[in-house]
Amino acid sequence: MVRTGPPRLTGMGTRRVDPERRDRIIDAALALIAEEGVAGISHRKVAQRADVPLGSMTYHFEGMGELLREAFTRFAGTVSARFEERLAAARDLDEARAVVVDVIHHDDPVNPRDLVLTHELYTLAAREPAYRELTRAWMRRSRDILERHFDPATARQLDALIEGLIIHRALDTTPADRALTVDAVERITAGPVAGRRDGATGPAPAGLDALRARMLAGRMYDDTAAELVEARRRTVLLTDEYNASFGRPQADRERLLRRLLAAVGRDCHFEPTFRCEFGFNIRIGDNFYANFDCVMLDGGGITIGDDVLFGPRVGIYTANHAIDPAERAAGACYARPVVIGDRVWIGGDVTINQGVTIGAGSIVGSGSVVTKPVPSGVVAAGNPARVLREITDADRTGFRP
């Protein structure tokens, strides 16, 4: 008998093109975790829920650990995006407070899926470092979102309140009602009304924004204020993260810098270790390079132009303590801005004090202490730094890259 074609295999359908299969697996995993907990899921259950062959599980994920990390990363991102969208719509402090309350209570009655998923993630994070880092990143993003309306110290308190009450509502059969949450949020965000360091009564100044405005205006400020202490703590954590990222792709490192600094241009790079006081008063242009152990105390504001080079151990100090010893002991400080123009080269171990401007194209020699403005197009060096000579056409060597 002559076979005229391939045998027909009954019971087998045509293979589907399914580009969304991976996403369906992740969604199915989250649905099962919400229903049965992490302990109750398996490759077979997830494949059945996602309507995919069992082999797709190992094709798309190396193991259950990778699937769980992907699933919880998606969940955290979705919740954060929803939170960010709600807070972005708040036009004033009262509306921001209302959003915080809504986030805690979701849409009453309680949304069990999100509450259970949050609790499952926290339980995993308590045991395994990989999930702990995921929850830390989630908390950092939440605090960054809150800081658009509240100072860092208040944002941290609100973040803790949100997390704690969400867990409380997930576990307690008679959770606190909305009115108690409203009262808690109002207490946290009202600011101190008594016991201030200066002995005054009434509300304290309006948080970090008011202190930052005082610093940038060159007025005396309390360097020990809780808002500044918290801002410095956040900066230490971010600079630790940036310094630890050495060796990762430049794009990843620049994303970290943009979380830390007020403005960052293209191709900005600090060798480890980089330290700054706040970061939110630093603006850097394109093509910037700083060698090892750069320190910037940016209370008064630091602006750096394009194509600037720093040698090792450059320090920029915009802040100064009060001259009067009693005021100094009480925490009084003041700050002045530092501005560095385009194409400036700062040598190693240079100290730049507050209120200094360094003009475009200039060079400051290693070991110098800059206490006064440096004009454009000169070489300056010494302690205190002084102009040694101008940079002229005779300095050109004809080099072409």
User: Angle formed by the axes of helices 93-105 and 152-171, to 10°?
Assistant: 30
CATH number of 62-188: 1.10.357.10
Token pair listed for 98? 């209302």
| Residue for token pair 């206490």 | 371
CATH number of 219-395: 2.160.10.10
- Indicate which residue of 60, 119, 269, 321 is catalytic: 321
**Which regions of the chain carry the CATH code 2.160.10.10?**
219-395
Token pair listed for 392? 């002229």
* Residues in the chain where the model's pLDDT stays below 70: 1-19, 106-111, 169-176, 191-206
pLDDT score for 30: 92
- Which uninterrupted H or E stretch holds 140? helix 129-146
Q: Is 291 left (phi over 0), alpha (psi -120 to 50) or beta?
A: beta
Cα(30)–Cα(146) distance, rounded to whole angstroms? 26
Asked about 321 being catalytic, the answer comes back as yes
pLDDT score for 175: 64
Cα(21)–Cα(18) distance, rounded to whole angstroms? 6
Q: Looking at residue 6, what DSSP letter applies?
A: P
pLDDT score for 13: 39
Residue burial 264-289, b: 16+ Cβ < 10 Å; e: rest: bbeebebeeebbbbbbbbbbbbebbe
Q: Looking at residue 366, what DSSP letter applies?
A: T
pTM: 0.51
pLDDT score for 103: 82
Closest CA to 353 of 303, 319, 383: 319
Are 377 and 394 a contacting pair, CB within 8 Å?
A: no
pLDDT score for 12: 37
pLDDT score for 349: 98
Amino acid at 90: A
Q: Residue 4 CA to chain centroid, in angstroms?
A: 67
**Which regions of the chain carry the CATH code 1.10.357.10?**
62-188
